[in-house]
Structure 1
Amino acid sequence: AADLSKPIDKRIYKGTQPTCHDFNHLTATAESVSLLVGFSAGQVQLIDPIKKETSKLFNEERLIDKSRVTCVKWVPGSESLFLVAHSSGNMYLYNVEHTCGTTAPHYQLLKQGESFAVHTCKSKSTRNPLLKWTVGEGALNEFAFSPDGKFLACVSQDGFLRVFNFDSVELHGTMKSYFGGLLCVCWSPDGKYIVTGGEDDLVTVWSFVDCRVIARGHGHKSWVSVVAFDPYTTSVEESDPMEFSGSDEDFQDLHFGRDRANSTQSRLSKRNSTDSRPVSVTYRFGSVGQDTQLCLWDLTEDILFPHQPLSRARTHTNVMNATSPPAGSGGTNPGSNGNSITTPGNSVPPPLPRSNSLPHSAVSNAGSKSSVMDGAIASGVSKFATLSLHDRKERHHEKDHKRNHSMGHISSKSSDKLNLVTKTKTDPAKTLGTPLCPRMEDVPLLEPLICKKIAHERLTVLIFLEDCIVTACQEGFICTWARPGKVGLLSSQNQANSPSGTVV
């Protein structure tokens, strides 16, 4: 593995903290790399960690935005344009060649739509920012460009995913979280699906083509902080655009080996035909959360193509069974000794009929507890689906600090604040059960392939590389996890050449 005790470059900042970063893969060479770093006070710095040069500081006087930088990304295919999101809910488009000016910028409305507005900067000479996007209510937590660079997916504290055509500044589609803010977003390698994670402890899969939620995944016990697709175990056509600019895959120079692409090509030859679905299509993605767990998920053809009436009916029945027991039938967490639980779900094993479900004995590490596990998951889902905040708080009393934040504005003690939220047009009660936010029983519920505690503190990074998976947590540990069969192949030279060796 790489020697992480000897960084290529090290910088210590006082009075402000780095919050996010992005490398420019288009201009990167062995001798030079352009790295953007966003800060808690609103500035953005452009540095070259190899040449040890500090090129520029943007928003230095904080005249453009004083709030924390939440996400920064180079615009795909551009050597000079980059996009910066802030906790103010604004995004700004910068050009590295332009200055930021000595006065606060004046804006002129370019385009306005539902819950968003885009302004251009009014000035005699061209200056930064080129554009100002105002998106949703509350902080804009993360954004990700589609693999072809044409679309932009944004997730906000108001719980909405909004997908824009970046060049034409048109809103393509929206989705609402089950509750709470959305914290992270990523695109599938072929750009057909978007996965989000957030304060509802769920991962949500949204179809870009159909503009609808096609599945949710429940495996985390707290907020989901990062979601990322694994392009090396995802079946993708060779002809699809492979410019990876999505969330948390910034470090990678991604390309499929020729033999791998050819082997998947034959299986996917029918993919674009309308009369038959592919023989085998699987998207693998991962998520990490504040519960210190890594979850891996498979998105399989029974979820992607539910056109067979029989399988669709069976799915619906079992999900309904799993959510039907009353909240009082068992308040135990999955894995605890709730032997008294009996639910209708037990009579139809497994309770959540997904092709990616492990045998329950493997999940609970004890075959004898599998039926308990079924019931516990089922009752857990039913309680989760009823949005009974009080019960959830009791169950997680040891995590009160997380849960209080988790519901934030919704479970606020201030009745004024509560009334204010219920009066807004994004009232959760009005969106629940609509295509924006289907009920839990209306879409398939995925189970994680694996759910493993891998840290002692909240996890903040998840990156899939060809030979390993990289994670990092708030304790400051960066871990590389070898893929099966790759343990002996992790040579130090291979790691040293990998861009993931540079950590800010």
Structure 2
Amino acid sequence: MYMVYNVGDYLHVAPFDSTEKDPLCSLIFNPSAVRDGHPCCHAYYPTRDGLDLLVGFANGEVLLMSLRAQLQAPPGNSRPIVAATLNPDQMHDSSRCSAVLWAPRGNGTQFLVCHASGSILVYKKNPGMTGESSGKLLSSLSSKSTGSNPCSTISLACGGFNDAAFCPDGSRLAVACRDGSVRLLEWPSGACLGGYQSYYGAALCVCWSPDAALLASGGEDDLVTVYSVADRQVVAFGEGHASWVGRVAFDPWLCSTSSSGGPGCQVQEKYYRLGSVGQDTSMCLWDLMIEEDPLVNAATGQAGGLKRVASQSQVNIPTVSSSANLAAHQHQHHMQPDQQAAAATAHTRSTSDVALAGVGASAGTASSRTASGNLLALLKQQQPHQQATGAVPQQAAPVAPSLPRREMTMLPPVMQQRIHVEPVSEMLFTEEAIFTGCCSGQIKCWLRPGLLSSEEPG
């Protein structure tokens, strides 16, 4: 198993179990290989034909490569072995590649590229390509040469894309947009199914929960936003970062479901672990408890009907309705110069004293966990006549507007710690550890506590 990451003009492939060793191979994309571009995103998917690696560039081009061929190249080889070039010479879109993704229902034959212009280009592989050849350029995919690529295009008036993610079953695509919106698109039609607007600035990253019930995003408002897909509303905001949030991710090994209550009125409680990293060089972990109302579920015939949102954090929770606290949350880089001096003395922030060895620690099994006394909010109750007659509420607007600050449900992190010197741009949960990466290319591995204690001698 390998770890692939890009830094500057390089794409590195390193051993998954050791971040301290030198990469197995380091590919450099200089102007002779890719004109006026450097790698800014990549995606891997195991395929039968060996063409399993996509690399997107700042000039809009995308290279299709074989990871196996790169690893089998002679030692010291830093030249990329390219199987195909998509969007050559910026033929279809000259803007930056914000994300490259393999279509989950394409069996490794279809992939898409999200551009900073707001376009999604969908491509199909050329059946004549192979991934086991030498370093020669095998083919160049374009509409002129194949007549089929890109096979479809989706355009949104959203200011451009910053990130994108498929839900686990591949039926929906979430995109984080530069206009501050996060939108849910039906795949492959591209129809907008819903979404929400950030509190401030652009949305920079987005991810799905393992059960596809929640959507989380981060952006220039320094907040982590949690959105209920079934209820079409934002249910919580995570406040803990002091700068832009660069990556969010759910921990699939610490997400669970339990039921409570008597027969016929069981309340389903879902527990989620969410992580985030940002330009403040810190990592935050969030524990969410979502309680669903069975009466609303029975009336609508589908999951949803959120009753309350709670956190198991021991960090002091600010009073959300306090006007003083609302003003204090506005970080200085969001303020005018004359406001920064006043905010510097009025703004105080509490941090959790949790050691890095505790990263990934569970608060107990789903059956033993109980809702914290720090209940953050009770969501709006359904109207009395709706509860009595079972009437379904009207559908919300496709993209919900930003909430006023006094109506936000604020969640504190269960862990907040500075982990890098440079801004942190990536995080990845695995069964054994959490991997984080910063803009300078440093990768760190944080073992889960159980594994850390079991590996100690004696």
- Structures share fold, TM-score greater than 0.5: yes
More helix by share: 1
Q: Which residue of 1 aligns with 2:21?
A: 5
Higher strand share: 2
CA contact (8 A) 1:225 1:460 kept: yes
Structure 1 CA distance, aligned partners of 2:264 and 2:226?
Answer: 22
2: CA distance between counterparts of 1:26 and 1:5?
A: 27
- 213, 216, 224: which one aligns with 1:195: 216
RMSD between aligned residues: 3.5
Which of these residues, 113, 138, 143, is aligned with residue 84 of structure 1?
113
Partner residue, 2:68: 50
Residue 64 (structure 1) aligned to one of 84, 89, 92: 92
- Distance verdict in 2 for CA 1:179–1:3, change over 3 Å: closer
Distance 1:100 1:467, change over 3 A: same
1:95 aligns with 2:124: yes
Distance 1:454 1:54 in 2: 36
Change (3 A) 1:283 1:205: same
Gap runs ≥5 in structure 2: 1-16, 32-36, 71-80, 128-138, 297-308, 345-398
1:485 to 425, 447, 450: 450
SS in 1 for 2:449: coil
CA shift in 2, pair 1:168/1:3, >3 Å: closer
Query: What letter matches 1:288 in structure 2?
Result: V
User: Is the contact made by 1:90 and 1:135 (CA closer than 8 Å) also made in structure 2?
Assistant: yes
Q: 1:359 to 1:171 in 2, by over 3 A?
A: closer
Query: Aligned partners of 1:436 and 1:50: how far apart in 2?
Result: 46
The alpha-carbon deviation at position 164 of structure 1 amounts to: 1.0
- Name which of 40, 46, 50 aligns with 2:58: 40
**Matched residue SS, 1:37:** strand
Matched with 1:275 is 265
Contact 2:226 2:237 (8 Å CA) reproduced = yes
In the alignment, which of 326, 334, 351 is matched to residue 381 of structure 1? 326
Q: Give the structure 2 partner of residue 431 of structure 1.
A: none
Letter in 2 for 1:447: P
Q: Which residue of 2 aligns with 1:73?
A: 101
C-alpha distance in 1 between matches for 2:152 and 2:411: 39
Q: CA deviation at 1:459?
A: 0.6
Query: Which residue identity lines up with residue 442 of structure 1 in the other structure?
Result: E
Note the 1:91-130 alignment, pairs <5 A.
91-97=120-126, 126-130=147-151
Residue 280 of structure 2 is aligned to residue 291 of structure 1? yes
Whole-Å separation in 1 of the counterparts to 2:201 and 2:427: 22
Change (3 A) 1:101 1:81: closer
* Residue of structure 2 equivalent to 1:338: none
> Does structure 1 residue 224 correspond to structure 2 residue 245?
yes
Deviations 1:357-376, CA, capped at 9 Å, x for gaps: 2144xx9xxxxxxxxx989x
Q: Structure 1 pair 100/128, CA: closer, same or farther in 2 (3 Å)?
A: farther
Provide the rounded CA distance (Å) in 1 between the counterparts of 2:164 and 2:264.
32
Between 45-54 and 79-88, the greater mean CA deviation after superposition: 45-54
Identity in percent = 33
Q: How far off its partner does 1:356 sit?
A: 2.0
CA distance, structure 1, for counterparts of residue 275 and residue 58 of structure 2: 27
**CA–CA separation in structure 2 for the residues paired with 1:299 and 1:13:** 42
Q: Secondary structure at the match of 1:61?
A: helix
Does the 8 Å CA contact 1:136/1:158 hold for their aligned counterparts? Answer: no
User: Would the aligned equivalents of 2:285 and 2:413 in 1 still touch at CA under 8 Å?
Assistant: yes
Task: Count matched residues.
Answer: 345
CA offsets per residue over residues 362-420 of structure 1, 9 Å max, x none?
x9xxxxxxxxx989x984533437997326655789xxxxxxxxxxxxxxxxxxxxxxx
Alpha carbons 2:315, 2:413 under 8 Å: kept: no
Residues 186 and 228, structure 1, Cα contact 8 Å, conserved in 2 = yes
**Can you list the C-alpha shifts for 1:22-71, whole angstroms capped at 9, x where unaligned?**
1114559xxx5611111111111111222224211111221111111111
**1:285-340 deviation digits (Å, cap 9, x = unpaired):** 101001111010111135x65999xxxxxxxxxxxxxxxxxxxxxxxxxxxxxxxx
- Secondary structure of the structure 1 residue equivalent to 2:326: helix
Q: Which amino acid aligns with 1:276?
A: Q
